[in-house]
């Protein structure tokens, strides 16, 4: 066999003929993951609230050359979740990959200042939505005995976060939900894993990077990160492609840090 013939061997990271959903896929880490999955061959649907941002990222996905779909979804609207998943399946086909990425941050300053509405919204956005979307997608995956669910955890799933207790609690819950679903769904051929980003340069973290009032915090986190820098959203895409691919068929229940070594300390 010559080199040209051997190049036809399928890559273990090939996502051709797969259909993926990325929630919150119109910016930041979600956008980077959506584009990464498309470049690996998947048809990609993004579900997010802002129609203008959705259209922008859908155009970027179109440039990759794979089928795309963008739909408006507020993940805290429980009744809308199953309907949105159904629309994706009608547009692109049965769901093979679900990335639960949609999120927000309520910087309350701590429990003493935490509002009940802020707490409820954080858990609804991160934890409850992850469960409901996973339930909707897994019902489809189960029938075909294959599928990948990738949740977005955080380094704050492990470390305390005095300023954002609702976020940390929700992300900690995602870790346990990931492990629980991994056990439940493995017999159905479905792998469930999570990515735990460290300090990634996104709109959500802009204040910590650029506001002079946060300069001491920024200095501290860079000193605490062995890589000595902020991560880029695109650096989470490779982890997602791996976990979504056949290369990870025997990988389930893991929490994969993408943090420049922050969690090593």
Q: Where would I find the beta strands (DSSP E) of 198-264?
A: 200-201, 231-232, 255-258
Identify the sign of the CA torsion 229, 234, 238, 244: positive
Could you list the active site residues? 167
In order, the DSSP letters of 144-197 are HT-EEEEEE--GGGTS--TT-HHHHHHHHHHHHHHHHHHHHHGGGTEEEEEEEE
- Assign 255 to helix, strand or coil: strand
- Contacts of residue 250, Cβ cutoff 8 Å, sequence gap at least 6: none
Query: 3-state SS of the chain: helix, strand, coil percent to 5?
Result: 55, 15, 30
Instruction: Please state, in angstroms and rounded to a whole number, the distance separating the CA atoms of residues 31 and 202.
Output: 11
Cβ atoms within 10 Å of 37's Cβ, excluding its own: 30
- Contacts of residue 135, Cβ cutoff 8 Å, sequence gap at least 6: none
Instruction: Please state, in angstroms and rounded to a whole number, the distance separating the CA atoms of residues 218 and 212.
Output: 9
């Amino acid at each position: 066999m010559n080199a040209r013939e051997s190049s036809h061997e399928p890559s273990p990271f090939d996502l051709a003929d797969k259909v993926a959903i990325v929630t919150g896929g119109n910016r930041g880490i979600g956008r980077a993951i959506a584009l990464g999955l498309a470049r690996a061959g998947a048809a990609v649907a993004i579900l997010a609230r802002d129609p203008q941002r959705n259209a922008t990222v859908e155009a970027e996905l179109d440039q990759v050359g794979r089928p795309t779909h963008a739909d408006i979804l507020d993940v805290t609207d429980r009744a809308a979740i199953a309907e949105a998943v159904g629309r994706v399946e009608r547009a692109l086909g049965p769901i093979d990959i679900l990335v639960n990425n949609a999120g927000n941050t309520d910087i309350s300053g701590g429990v003493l200042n935490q509002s009940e509405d802020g707490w409820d919204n954080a858990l609804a956005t991160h934890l409850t939505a992850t469960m409901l979307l996973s339930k909707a997608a897994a019902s489809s995956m189960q029938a075909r005995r294959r599928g990948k669910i990738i949740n977005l955890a955080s380094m704050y799933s492990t470390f305390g976060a005095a300023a954002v207790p609702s976020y940390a609690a929700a992300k900690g819950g995602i870790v346990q939900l990931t492990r629980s679903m991994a056990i439940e769904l493995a017999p159905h051929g479905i792998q469930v894993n999570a990515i735990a980003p460290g300090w990634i340069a996104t709109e959500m973290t802009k204040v910590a990077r650029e506001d002079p009032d946060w300069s001491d915090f920024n200095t501290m986190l860079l000193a605490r990160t062995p890589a000595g820098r902020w991560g880029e959203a695109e650096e989470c895409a490779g982890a997602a492609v791996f976990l979504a691919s056949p290369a990870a068929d025997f990988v389930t229940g893991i929490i994969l840090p993408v943090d420049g070594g922050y969690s090593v300390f």
